[in-house]
Amino acid sequence: MTILVTGGAGFIGSNFVLDWLAERDEPVVNLDKLTYAGNPRNLGSLERDSRHVLVVGDIGDTRLVPILLERHRPRAIVNLAAESHVDRSIHGPDHFVQTNIIGTYHLLQSACAYWSALSGTERDRFRFLHVSTDEVYGSLDPDDVAFSENHPYAPNSPYAASKAASDHLVRAWGHTYGLPVLTTNCSNNYGPFQFPEKLIPLCIHNALAGKPLPIYGDGRQIRDWLYVKDHCNAIRLVLESGQVGETYNVGGNSEHANLEVVRTLCRLLNDMMPRANGATYQELIAFVSDRPGHDRRYAIDSGKLRRELDWRPMETFDSGIGKTLEWYLANQDWVAEVTSGAYRDWVKTQYGR
Ligand code: NAD
Ligand code: DAU
């Protein structure tokens, strides 16, 4: 048996592929377009592992995807491929519409054609698992209860809107054509291999370089942080035992304001890697213009996943952030590689002002 993972060279995707092959002896075909966010080096440890095949291509390629499905005959597709950075979606929504909406549509069509031609057990056991985000639910007020799976969709950024559209397409393909779909909506992930344009790796990278740690607005926006490997476990569990047609929210039950997150990083870094000039990392914190339309608070109620599939996160925020820092300190060469070239242009566009 084989599974097809899309976006498996990105942050969550590469963690997922590595964990999958460590936990299961089932090959992975990894379809990834290798945008700026995709890095085959994340999968370097699998170079000689015949259970992993990386195919460079687009989920929206209506010629390539059917060929891949026919050739490898996967029993499941795990769709992680997406444009994922909110700030980039504000500067240039095109790629988000193209990959997250049109790409998902084409992938669903290819999956549906493949699945419809299956029979017997192959057809019964096939699953299409779509990995999505809590951002589709919009923003919460301080006293609101956390997002459950029944919370109305109210996406606020072009990224969130494109992911919401993809969730609706997945739902419709399940409802109308009977494609055996599953959807997960997860909160903010952090951990190894996260591209340093997202808050936590960006601040680690800047802190080590003695550069400002940019805090949007007042820094009191709240996110629900989850260590990436806990997300990967949840995806595996939903794929194995989730009810077809259902949605599962995944979260860390770990709400923290951005400023608090960055201060925690600074405190840990003060101990692990004191600055040469004797100053603290906190002194690098710099308040900058807010993100347009910035959502104030996300919080996930993952009670359904806990009750039905017995999932719970293994890491607390403290243990997860410690592991993450250790990984970034030990993998400065990885950071140096991804922070060259195109990444620099992005930093200029976003923070140049
Ligand atoms: P990422 O940006 O790090 O990686 C995305 C990967 O998808 C990259 O490897 C990229 O090359 C690939 N890709 C992009 N467009 C493609 C296309 N058209 N065809 C094939 N591959 C393509 O993203 P991530 O943070 O790893 O997120 C993965 C998924 O999880 C996304 O769907 C995202 O919406 C969702 N998600 C992310 C988080 C988070 O905190 N990072 C939380 C919840 C859900
Ligand atoms: O909630 C899940 C989502 O989490 C995923 O769907 C997205 O793919 C993922 O990128 C992430 O989105 P966020 O916008 O929450 O992540 P980001 O790391 O960009 O920002 C986290 C918070 O930190 C957010 O409130 C904005 C703020 N921020 C971010 C950056 C990059 C800053 O204050 N300064 C910064 O420089």
Residue 13 has pLDDT above 70, yes or no: yes
Ligand 1 atom, smallest distance to 58 CA = 19
What's the average model confidence in pLDDT over 34-46?
A: 93
Give the closest residue (by CA) to ligand 2 atom 21.
Answer: 199
pLDDT at position 343, please? 59
Residue 24 has pLDDT above 90, yes or no: yes
Ligand 1 centre to CA of 12 (Å) is: 7
pLDDT at position 236, please? 98
- Give start and end residues of each alpha helix (H) in 128-188: 158-177
pLDDT at position 349, please? 75
- Give start and end residues of each alpha helix (H) in 182-275: 199-208, 228-241, 258-272
pLDDT at position 311, please? 98
Smallest CA-to-CA distance from 205 within 269, 149, 252, 117 is with 269
Give the closest residue (by CA) to ligand 1 atom 44.
Answer: 133
- CA 313, chain centre distance (Å): 16
Residue 147 has pLDDT above 60, yes or no: yes
Pocket test residue of 4, 6, 12 for ligand 1, highest count of atoms within 8 A of CB: 12
pLDDT at position 146, please? 98
Which residues contact ligand 1 via a Cβ below 6 A? Answer: 6-7, 9-13, 31-35, 37-38, 58-60, 80-84, 99, 103, 131-133, 163, 186, 188-189, 195
Give the closest residue (by CA) to ligand 1 atom 17.
Answer: 58
pLDDT at position 187, please? 98
Query: Does residue 84 line the site of ligand 2, with CB under 6 A?
Result: yes
Give the closest residue (by CA) to ligand 1 atom 14.
Answer: 82
Q: Rounded distance, CA 229 to CA 231, Å?
A: 5
Per-residue pLDDT tens for 94-139? Answer: 999 999 999 999 999 999 999 999 999 999 999 999 999 999 999 9
Query: Does residue 184 line the site of ligand 2, with CB under 6 A?
Result: no
Q: Is 307 helix (H, G, I), strand (E, B) or coil?
A: helix
Q: How confident is residue 33, by pLDDT bands cut at 50, 70 and 90? A: very high
Active site residues: 134-135, 159
Ligand 2 centre to CA of 86 (Å) is: 7
pLDDT at position 351, please? 64
Q: Which ligand is nearest to the CA of 80?
A: 1
Q: Which domains does the chain have, with CATH numbers?
A: 3-189+227-253+293-314 (3.40.50.720)
Query: Does residue 133 line the site of ligand 2, with CB under 6 A?
Result: yes
The length of the chain in residues reads 353
Q: Rounded distance, CA 303 to CA 294, Å?
A: 27
